[in-house]
Amino acid sequence: MIEILPKRTAGFFYSTNERVENMQKENTKDGIQPANRLSEVSEYYFAKKLKEVADMNAAGKNVINLGVGSPDLPPSDEAIEVFCREIRKDNMHGYQPYTGIPALRERFADWYRTWYEVQLDPQTEIQPLIGSKEGVLHVSMAFLNPGDGVLAPNPGYPTYHSVSKLVGANLIAYELKESNHWYPDFEALEQMDLSKVKLMWTNYPHMPTGANASMQLFEQLVAFGRRHGIVICHDNPYSFILNDNPLSILSVPGAKDICIELNSMSKAHNMPGWRMAMLASNEHFIRWILKVKTNIDSGQFKPMQLAAVEALKAPKSWYEGMNRVYRSRRDLAGRIMHTLGCRFDENQVGMFLWGRIPDTELSGEALADKVLYGAHVFITPGSVFGSAGNRYVRISLCSNNELLSEAIRRVRGTGCEVQGSGFKNP
């Protein structure tokens, strides 16, 4: 099903009247209003909800946060040592090139060649970023004029939707369904009027559902983009988490002609606060995006870039060790899901667990609130990621086993558990 947004109030979907009311509430005492574009978006869900969690903690309720995907594990010792050494040098504290230091671009190219079997020219086909979330904005500003169509997944990362609205694009959600492995329905896409669509956001391994990538999927996406002249922008930060076969859409022959891939060190290298990311594409796309970036931000702190170079040298054993930790956490998160009566796909990858709520529950948001207020455990309702997530919840694997075990105990001891499956017979 294809849906032009916004239409719904769940998650980040708002009606026209709600947007007007929200804008009116933003008025200052002097009658000054914010820019009209703010009426198209709401405050990021986690920014709002974490304020509530902070208030609960201030009241002594000690909420266990299983909502946000911020890795709690450290980067490699080698990367930290490089940073500590380089930061003490006198010549490390000035402005850095917008394109990143050559050593970082070259290491990103080596990383792609080693793990994805993709050849990239470090001089012209790689652009370091201060986070891939920022890259979503750079790409959108470089390619989208007001009124241009942009395809975004439902469920999907809310930033694809909000940034598209901020730049004045015509946001068109394409619905992903569990019955189709959370893949795009290409038959439905082909039946649309795509004449004004310029860009398509896609993200595999998928957040929030954990659906893994496949070469067949990537081949279909590249062919779809070529057929309709649509830039396929693939966001790829989760490919190393609980996944033995990292894939890149750029491994499809000719993909660089029509595709952009974002990648990040936040998840695979435990560096979310470092804001180290990159994008890769053809020389022309990189040049257009760089024109936007140079007018918005600057180059990253050089000691962090040098530490990132070291982190990208990580051997296979680094990823295996990290995934042993996540696998143990995943087992405990699964026990929380079962306790809540939720069912989930055992083949999910990435650093979250996505589960369908029992038929007896009103909605994912209602279940998440029941767990928060009853057990003092914060999990994420699937509606945050779009209307197609209304019957789901998500648990982050970014808390240690002790906290996850305590969360199980709390859920079991506060009446949040479900007796039986909670699902109707088909």
pLDDT in tens, 21-50: 554 555 555 788 888 887 777 666 677 788
Task: Indicate left, alpha or beta for 229 from its phi (over 0: left) and psi (-120 to 50: alpha).
Answer: left
| Residue 247 domain-assigned (yes or no) | yes
421 domain residue, yes or no? no
Arithmetic mean of pLDDT over the chain: 90
Nearest to 250 by CA among 121, 100, 98, 350: 121
Share of the chain above pLDDT 90, in %: 83
Provide the residue range defining the domain that includes 381.
45-73+317-413
Q: Which of 278, 313, 348 is the last residue of a domain?
A: 313
Exposed (0-12), middle (13-18) or buried (19+): which is 317, by Cβ within 10 Å?
A: exposed
* pLDDT tens digits along 355-393: 999 999 999 999 999 999 999 999 999 999 999 999 999
Token output for 336: 């929380």
Q: Say yes or no to pLDDT of 414 above 80.
A: no
Q: Read off the pLDDT band of 207 (50, 70, 90).
A: very high
Residue 206: per-residue pLDDT: 97
| pLDDT at 11 (0 to 100) | 41
> pLDDT for 150-205, tens place per residue?
999 999 999 999 999 999 999 999 999 999 999 999 999 999 999 999 999 999 99
Residue-level pLDDT at 12: 44
Write the DSSP string, 232-294.
Answer: EEEE-S-TTTT-SS---GGGSTTGGGTEEEEEEHHHHTS-GGGT-EEEE--HHHHHHHHHHHT
Same domain, 303 and 190: yes
Q: Which of 313, 337, 365 is the last residue of a domain?
A: 313
CATH code, 274:
3.40.640.10
Q: What is the pLDDT of residue 44?
A: 62
200/157 same-domain check: yes
In a domain, 50, yes or no: yes
Of 264, 288, 313, the position where a domain reaches its end is 313
DSSP-derived secondary structure letter, 299: P
More confident residue, 19 or 269: 269
Across 288-299, average pLDDT: 94
> Is the residue at 122 inside a domain?
yes
Please, which pLDDT band fits residue 14 given cuts at 50, 70 and 90?
very low
Residue-wise pLDDT for 246-264, tens only, equals 999 999 999 999 999 999 9
Are 111 and 137 within one domain? yes
Domain count of the fold of the chain: 3
User: Are residues 301 and 187 part of one domain?
Assistant: yes
Place of tokens 């904005």: 137
